[in-house]
Structure 1
């Protein structure tokens, strides 16, 4: 089945329906086809409290960073269909309890998630399937996902294996400008990081190398090791 670039009109329209968002054309530019389009929710959604069921500080897990990265890496090559959907991550999220909560926050409906931008759904799915969700969190909206880490005092500027990395293609360090999310595999110590990301390239899970200049910050799950 043909691959679909998530910067196309169909997918961005669905993303608007899910998140009550508009796509920032300025966030695309040279990055078109390399990662999810910039999202900007209404002010109410951007400023709303991030309320996951339990905070990361309340729940310990027995999962290591290596286990999470191994699961994420096993998904490399999974791709969306011609409509920008069809991934297991979108299907899982649309049926989840969390979808009902984010619909109440952002508007839309469960069906809209099935073709929406899915980078944060991929990260959330890996957390769920690995048993690390209490520390990785779950959300379809990258900004809210980052704010959850920040609210738990687990957000910073140092790349660590297994950290959840949030990007802004403009180079902004403002959480409200986040465009994309993935996992850190390693710091290459040359101004770049190696990552595993969903909804990148032509709508696939891929390993990438990214400049740190595009990183807004990192969320730090409290792994067992």
Structure 2
């Protein structure tokens, strides 16, 4: 997810209520046919980044034993998992709210753990898959897509080539600026026709889904160093 105003007490549910009728209505018609698609994920409300707070530790030297195929198979096993009517209730949000990383991002962004329970959860899904497969040191963990992408870049593992198992960051406007990232998922494959196949959380009608996306909406890719 992009950075959410999940920590402003008077604004927690602002994005969900306002966008439910417009964004989700187009969810099932947004599969790509070779051209750019409209936004299908609930758009978050931006909140100012607080400077001077320790980011998650870089893990460039931390090896993992899991392969890209294993991570993708596990992510695929989650397809169909859905949030509740309030935009919460997923195990991904519950796990993140209780994680060590939540304490760190609360220190960075303010707020409290409860706010994550109904926040947009695409980045939480990616982070949870990393945790469950043992690949988190390479996949990273965050609730904010921009910070997650910057972590890959800080570790010199961010680029423009679609690879199976890569973490893909999207901007629906077509921007290539990391600060404009709206959404995140896993690359399944490059379709060699200007699109990629993906597995994403918090997409469509608030579910984990397999999608086809145009490369024109990709800001970049984060590359976990998987086992061979």
TM-score with structure 1 setting the length:
0.85
**C-alpha separation in 1, matches of 2:52 and 2:225:** 25
The aligned runs of 1:53-72 (5 Å cut-off) are: 53=57, 55-72=58-75
RMSD of the alignment, in Å?
2.5
Distance 1:80 1:221, change over 3 A: same
**C-alpha separation in 1, matches of 2:204 and 2:41:** 6
**C-alpha separation in 1, matches of 2:160 and 2:150:** 14
Any conservation in 2 of the 1:19–1:106 contact (CA below 8 Å)?
A: no
Please report how far the alpha carbon of residue 40 of structure 1 lies from its aligned counterpart in structure 2 after TM superposition.
2.8
Could you say which residue in structure 2 is the equivalent of 1:217? 220
Distance 1:213 1:130, change over 3 A: same
1:102 aligns with 2:109: no
Q: Of 19, 35, 38, which aligns to 1:31?
A: 38
Unaligned runs of 5+ in 2: 27-36
Any conservation in 2 of the 1:192–1:210 contact (CA below 8 Å)?
A: yes
Any conservation in 1 of the 2:166–2:222 contact (CA below 8 Å)?
A: yes
Q: Of 117, 121, 130, which aligns to 1:118?
A: 121
Distance 1:203 1:50, change over 3 A: farther
Could you say which residue in structure 2 is the equivalent of 1:131? 134
Distance 1:109 1:80, change over 3 A: same
**C-alpha separation in 1, matches of 2:176 and 2:53:** 20
1:161 aligns with 2:164: yes
Unaligned runs of 5+ in 1: 1-5, 7-11
Report how many residues are paired: 207
